[in-house]
Amino acid sequence: MIKHIFVMLFGLILTATSAMADYRLVVPSPKGTGTAIWADVVAAELEKYLGERVIVENIKGGKGNVGLETFANKYKDDPKTILLAHGGNANAWLIQNVKWSFKDWEPVMVQPYNITTTIASNFDWQNEKLDLADCSGCVPETLGWALLKGWENINFVRKMSAGDAKTAWLRGDFNYIREPASRHIKNTVPMVDDGKAVRLFNHGMFTPSEGFVQDPNWPDTPMVTDLYKETFGKDPSGDVFEAYILSAVWRDGLQKGLFMHPGANSKEVVDALEAMMANEESKAHLISKLGDYPMYFGQESNIIMDALYGYVTKERLSLLVNFAKEKMEWGTAEYVDGKTID
């Protein structure tokens, strides 16, 4: 009898402790990155609607895989841990044999985003060779540049992160920078306004029904496909283009995604997110910091994920993995069955 009472009390204590615990947001990127900025801004605002603190835990390493594996294993049974996945993780899932899968988790929010490529105003991009960082999140830019310039006109700077590339750009050592809206607004818009830089292209904004459409945040900046047609007088096609489409759709369609384990407090988080975006003051604050990109919650986020899975054909995945292995020198690139729709 006493033992039975003790077990019941212990269970009640665990339940109460869990109820009082803070929410945790696992971010597979170090501080200072675009993803980390997004996490800090959203976590601070989301707390107001959850009624509890949201502790941001930045975990770097393995091109984001350390953070994803930590969420998948260490926090598997934690109902209040949320994962913030970003586009680089999406490309890693496509290209590598990772020890985690988006299919194992429940999406609570997906935000298609756009990455803007900006060049120095004195850079003749059509005739000068391009120095290109081979960061994990840069695959669509790499393929976009290969489409526009050809592989032979790209000089890869190996083992350079997106953060290192940003530093090189700010020093004037790099002729281009690729950035999410959060970093572009903060760092580069003033340079564009001063005439020191030019927005050359972006990938558009992903929609589940139409694919990429013109990004209303940067209406005067062409998508890669439009710049190609403007430059060569025809629509893009071929192996590089097919690999580019798959990479860009996943990287930018899942540029920011919040996931939780099945059985976690996902309804509470979805309700809080919806309340946050329904509040005009909170919405305006987030747009001013992160750009005006729609967030899809709950079932709508599942629709986005289903649309992304629909792009993963054997041909496209094989092309993307081969380019990553042979041109980008990803030693971990590996074709894995079970990811495609055919």
Mark whether 106 and 120 lie in a shared domain. Answer: no
Residue of higher predicted confidence among 35 and 17: 35
What is the pLDDT at residue 12?
43
Average pLDDT over residues 137-163: 89
What is the pLDDT at residue 271?
98
Domain that holds residue 41: 2-113+254-309
What is the pLDDT at residue 2?
54
Per-residue pLDDT reduced to its tens digit, 23-40: 999 999 999 888 999 999
| Residues forming beta bridges with residue 201, ordered by sequence position | 117
Mark whether 140 and 230 lie in a shared domain. Answer: yes
Mark whether 234 and 259 lie in a shared domain. Answer: no
In the chain, what percentage of residues exceed pLDDT 90?
A: 73
pTM: 0.88
Across all residues in the chain, what is the average pLDDT? 90
**Residues sharing a CB contact under 8 Å with residue 79, sequence separation 6 or more, in sequence order:** 18, 260, 261, 263, 264, 265
Q: What span, in angstroms and rounded, lies between the C-alpha atoms of 200 and 21?
A: 46
Mark whether 317 and 294 lie in a shared domain. Answer: no
Per-residue pLDDT reduced to its tens digit, 283-339: 999 999 988 899 999 999 999 999 999 999 999 999 999 999 999 988 889 999 889
Output 325-334 pairs: Cβ under 8 A, ≥24 positions apart: 327/142, 327/146, 327/151, 328/134, 328/139, 328/142, 328/156, 329/134, 329/156, 329/158, 330/95, 330/96, 332/95, 332/96, 332/97, 333/95, 333/96, 334/95, 334/96, 334/97
Does residue 3 surpass a pLDDT of 70? no
Mark whether 184 and 317 lie in a shared domain. Answer: yes
Does residue 199 surpass a pLDDT of 70? yes
Q: State the CATH number of the domain containing residue 221.
A: 3.40.190.10
> Is 331 part of any domain?
no
CB 196 within 8 A of CB 65: no
